[in-house]
Amino acid sequence: MPGGTDLTLRPFLWRAEKLYSDQEIVSRTSEGITRYDYAEYADRVAQLANALDELGIEEGDRVGTFCWNQHLHFETYFAAPSMGAQLHTINPLLPAEHIRYIVDNAEDKVLFVDPSLLPALEPAVQSPEFDHVKQFVVMASEVPETDLDVVAYEEFIAGHDTEYDWPDVSEDQPAGMCYTSGTTGRPKGVEYTQKMLWAHTMESLTPQGIPMADDDVVMPVVPMFHVNAWGMPFTATAAGAKQVFPGPSPDPADLAGLIEEEGVTITAGVPTVWLGLMDYCKNNDVDISSLDTVIVGGSAAPRSMVEWFDDRDIELLHAWGMTEMAPIGSVAHLKSDLESADYETQVDHRVKQGLIVPGLEFKVLDDDGEEIAWDGEEFGELLVRGPSVTTEYFERPEANEEDFEDGWLRTGDVVTVDPEGYLKIVDRAKDVIKSGGEWISSVELENAIMAHDDVAEATVIGVPHEKWQERPVAFVVPVEGADRDAIPEGVMDLLREEYPKWWLPDDVVFIDEVPKTATGKFSKKDLREQYTDMEAFEGKTPDDAAPEQDD
């Protein structure tokens, strides 16, 4: 096949550079607001590729990033894949042990680190899991104080040519990688080939995806370490749109300020982010009227949120997806025949997870492996397939056997499908908790709690929470004669040693016995039913106990 006919990412940047050379890219970093255009961006992408070349990065090597949403991170997005290397975005909010495992498993050759995340990385770097990393590059113009042997990004690319002889990369070449923690075992690596990312970009750009145009101003709040910020830096480039990167841990005031000052038209994030912005708007005089569309995903969008944005003439688009899907799978657009329905009926549909995007297929199987009826009542596990959906995990044959079936991905989401084809998630097959858009493993917490001398049995479930969607609560059976008063703090101390603050349960509740299934396994169903009363836990989560990116 002649070169240049494969489905790859580089033509998206080529087009933006040629057709929209003076379109802006704006970035909030720890050093202030930076702005430049696609022409300069493309020059710097080439400089970065040359610098990586000189470091010895070759086709197939993994380039790790440990960064917030900012322009330097965005430069790695096109440089690494376009030279045939693989961009591996790492979630800095994970427990340290998970980060060590991920860096080791991926064998990252170079690691780009946000200056604000250096302290989090310093202790981990001493461990052998980081031995593959040849170079640490700090995303800044100067190296901050650190014990690590690092180079500043600007120094790393300085003096390098602004042209690069881009190779004809195959569409099957891995271009990206992201680990998913939405799993009961160790995080699982998902590799994105050039073709998957190309397909995802095109699926997203259709009118039934997340359409954008060259007069849009696109601000992904969803972190760039979460499946490439839902692919938005790629789609916005393909569309020639202005891009705004909100930087490290943006708070509602930062977001409102950027929306107003930069005229943001499309933004995206988990529900917790928008609850924060809605609250901020109540008490402050802010103008968010430039917004046309707010994409809400990662967890279910509440009905009240849809209505709040409707009242301001801003469209909330509810989207569902997974790391394994690069990630967008469905978007709750209104079908044209529902345009004439009453408002309540329309919102009923818009709060569902929505319509599969063009390019993908799905089926829903009940416990007997039979396809369910599309009646909005029957439910089963959702399976998906398509060119942007992975067909395997990285080096995890045992997980492949469990999660893939004849080329279909088993999502673990239990859904209904209504006669119009709208998917609605009604349950989750896996034992995990999603708080503020980040996964918490209940199994890991349970095992850690059961290591406490005074705990006979423990189980952890997710309970609904208004701000964080779900929070973990521990249920503990004390050993006979134990000092019950000392157990909750003892348990928390134990967990604090290993896990970030936002993993700690909101409460430790004593029970006489953990309910069991017929085969003696913990049955959480009963506890879940008993504790779905969110009022019981309202307000118990301290504000600083949650994933940092949502603050």
Phi–psi pair at 370, nearest 5 degrees:
-95, 145
The 3-state DSSP class for residue 313 equals: coil
Q: How far apart are CA 460 and CA 293, in angstroms?
A: 37
- Give the residue with the Cβ less far from ligand AMP, 219 or 300: 300
Tell me the three state secondary structure of residue 481.
coil
Q: Taking the complex as a whole, how short is the minimal distance between the CB of residue 311 and ligand AMP, in angstroms?
A: 21
Closer residue to ligand AMP (CB): 427 or 526: 427
Residue pair 549/247 in contact by the 8 Å Cβ criterion: no
Nearer to ligand AMP, 52 or 351 (CB): 351
Work out how close the CB of 529 gets to ligand AMP at its nearest, in angstroms, rounded to a whole number. Answer: 19
Q: How many residues are present in the chain?
A: 551
Give the integer Cα–Cα distance in Å for 85 and 57: 7
Select the residue whose beta carbon is closest to ligand AMP and give its number.
323
Structure tokens at 474: 């521990």
Q: How far apart are CA 27 and CA 318, in angstroms?
A: 26
Name residues whose C-beta falls within 8 Å of residue 14's C-beta, 6 or more positions apart in sequence: none
Specify whether 122 is catalytic: no
Start-to-end C-alpha separation, the chain? 49
Which is nearer to ligand AMP, 12 or 320 (by Cβ)? 320
Active-site residue 242, yes or no? no
Task: Quote the CA–CA distance of 240 and 23 in Å, as a whole number.
Answer: 7
Smallest distance from ligand AMP to CB 524, Å = 16
Strand, helix or coil for residue 160: coil
Angle between the 10-19 and 38-55 helix axes, to the nearest 10 degrees? Answer: 140
| Angle formed at CA 467 by CA 465 and CA 472, multiple of 5 degrees | 40
With a CB cutoff of 8 Å and minimum separation 6, the contacts of 323 are 178, 179, 180, 182, 190, 226, 227
Q: At what angle do helices 303-311 and 271-283 cross, to 10 degrees?
A: 50
Q: Check 198, 408, 439, 502 and give the catalytic one.
A: 439
Residue 294, strand partner residues: 267, 316
What is the closest distance, in whole angstroms, from the C-beta atom of residue 178 to ligand AMP in the complex? 8
Decide whether 115 or 327 has the Cβ nearer to ligand AMP. 327
**Which CB, 10 or 352, lies closer to ligand AMP?**
352
Q: What is the closest distance, in whole angstroms, from the C-beta atom of residue 226 to ligand AMP in the complex?
A: 7
**C-beta of 252 vs 302, nearer to ligand AMP:** 302
Residues in contact with ligand AMP by CB under 6 A are: 180, 182, 297-300, 318, 320-323, 327, 353, 411-413, 425, 428, 434
- Active-site annotation holds for 68: no
The packing angle between helices 71-82 and 10-19, to 10°, is 120
CA gap 158, 151 in Å, rounded? 11
183: tokens are 């799993």
- Please state the closest distance from residue 413 (CB atom) to ligand AMP, in A: 5
- Min dist CB 369 to ligand AMP, Å, is 20
Q: For residue 502, indicate whether it is catalytic.
A: no
- Bridge-partner residues for 110, per DSSP? 63, 135
Of residues 171, 203, 324, 548, which has the active-site annotation? 324
Q: Which of 188, 352, 434, 524 is catalytic?
A: 434
Where does residue 464 rank: exposed (0-12), middle (13-18), buried (19+ CB within 10 A)?
A: middle
Catalytic residue among 8, 29, 76, 180: 180
Alpha helices in 22-170 (DSSP H): 38-55, 71-82, 96-106, 118-125, 153-157
Least distance in angstroms from the C-beta of 450 to ligand AMP: 26
Q: Nearer to ligand AMP by C-beta: 85 or 190?
A: 190
Question: Is residue 193 classed exposed, middle or buried when 0-12, 13-18 and 19+ CB atoms within 10 A define those classes?
Answer: buried
Active site residues: 180, 324, 434, 439
